[in-house]
Structure formats: C-alpha cells, structure tokens
Amino acid sequence: MLTTDVKRWWHTQPAITQVLLGLTVGVFLIEWLLGGSTMTTVLYFLGAKNDQAIIAGQWWRFITPVFLHMGLMHIAVNGVVIYFMGMQIEALFGHWRMLVLYLLGGISGNIMSFALSPDQSVGASTAIFALFGAFLMVGESFWENPVIRQLTQQFLLLTVVNLVFDVFSTGIDIWGHVGGLAGGFLLAYVLGVPRVGPIPKVKRILAAVVLILAWVALLKLGFTNWQ
C-alpha cells in the first residue's frame, strides 16, 4: 500500500519541487538550531559561497549555498517562488530534468558569483533564476504556442523586474542571479523539453559547448581574481 501511495505521489505531484522545498526548510531549521540564520559564521560553517574557501578546495560551496538562507523573510520569499515556479517547470520538463535544472542552474549562478563577486552569499535565488531561464528557453523555442507565449511574456516581465530590483538593492548577489538565469536557459536547451516538443540537436550541442566554456572561463577568472 505504501509503495502504491509513493508511486501515485511521484506520478501525480510535483515531487522534486516538494522534496527540494522540504530540504530547504530542513536546512533552515538546522541554521536556527546552530545559532541563527543571520549569523555569518553559521552560514559559513554550513557551506555559504565563500571565494577563499573555494580556492582552498571546498568546491561543494558551489551547491550548498542553494539550500541556505539568511533570515525568515529570505526563505519565505524564495520558498513561495520555488513552489510555484517549480510546479510550472516540473510540469513542462518532468521530474529529473527539473532536478538537474535546479541544481546545475544553482551551481552556474554560484560559479558566476565566484568569478565576479567577493562577498559571501547564500540563497536559492541562483536556482530560481535558472528556472526563469528555462521557461524563457521554452518560450523562445515554442513561441507559436499561444499559451506558452503568454506565460513567457509574464515570466520575462517578472525576470526583468527582479533584475532591476537587484541593481538598486544592497546585499543582493546580482551576479549569482544573472549566472543562474543564463545557466538555466542553456541547460534547458541541453536537456530538451520532450513534453512540449523537440529541440534541434545542433542547438542542444551548441548550448552544451557554450555552457561548459562559460563555466571554465568563469572558474579561471575567479581563481585569477581572488588568489
């Protein structure tokens, strides 16, 4: 009976979105138990993006910041966006593609942040912007679909508003957001969207090459800038 319930949940619910959100909330509770989510020492201990630590070999800091948040408002806002945006992307791409987009998109954002920002940072925004980028890729590839076109226009406006807000705000890692957005856009091409339609093979290969070259260039820039 339990196996049947799990299978039903897997096939009928945005399972990956729910798991990612649950992990994020769980990590936030760990932050609280260790002394508070606004303490930079706690965030560093749990894996915040820190350029000097990455240079020292702690490469896991490209992914762990995605699950860390500074303050209740930070996780509340990101949690809502993860849930509603995640449902949209998981419905379009499927479970495993959603997981890859979220994790590798978050890594892409943190790689760009490592290259261009000296500040310690945390947050799921790198992965969230990757989901925005993935949806924009769907819109670009299937613009003739009126429903997708309308949704893409809305998400494009939301993305632009968020980036403009980043420019005029302090304490926001805009490079992480830009890197996540670009990474999600390219990753979506690489993964494809079989539930919507085919993506030409040449576009998928080109996106993979551009993405890998960008990662290599940004990593090299980061090590050059902060060593």
Q: Spot the catalytic one: 108, 117, 121, 177.
A: 177
Catalytic residue among 37, 113, 121, 125: 125
Q: Report the distance separating Cα 15 and Cα 100, nearest Å.
A: 14
Instruction: Examine the residue annotation and report whether 177 is marked as an active-site residue of this protein.
Output: yes
What residues contact 194, with CB distance under 8 A and at least 6 apart? 94
DSSP one-letter string for the chain: -HHHHHHHHHHHS-HHHHHHHHHHHHHHHHHHHTT-TT-HHHHHHHT-B-HHHHHTT-GGGGTGGGG--SSHHHHHHHHHHHHHHHHHHHHHH-HHHHHHHHHHHHHHHHHHHHHH--S-B--THHHHHHHHHHHHHHHHHTTTSHHHHHHHHHHHHHHHHHHHHHHT-SS--HHHHHHHHHHHHHHHHHH-BTTTB---HHHHHHHHHHHHHHHHHHHHHHHHHH-
37 part of the active site: no
Just list the catalytic residues: 125, 177
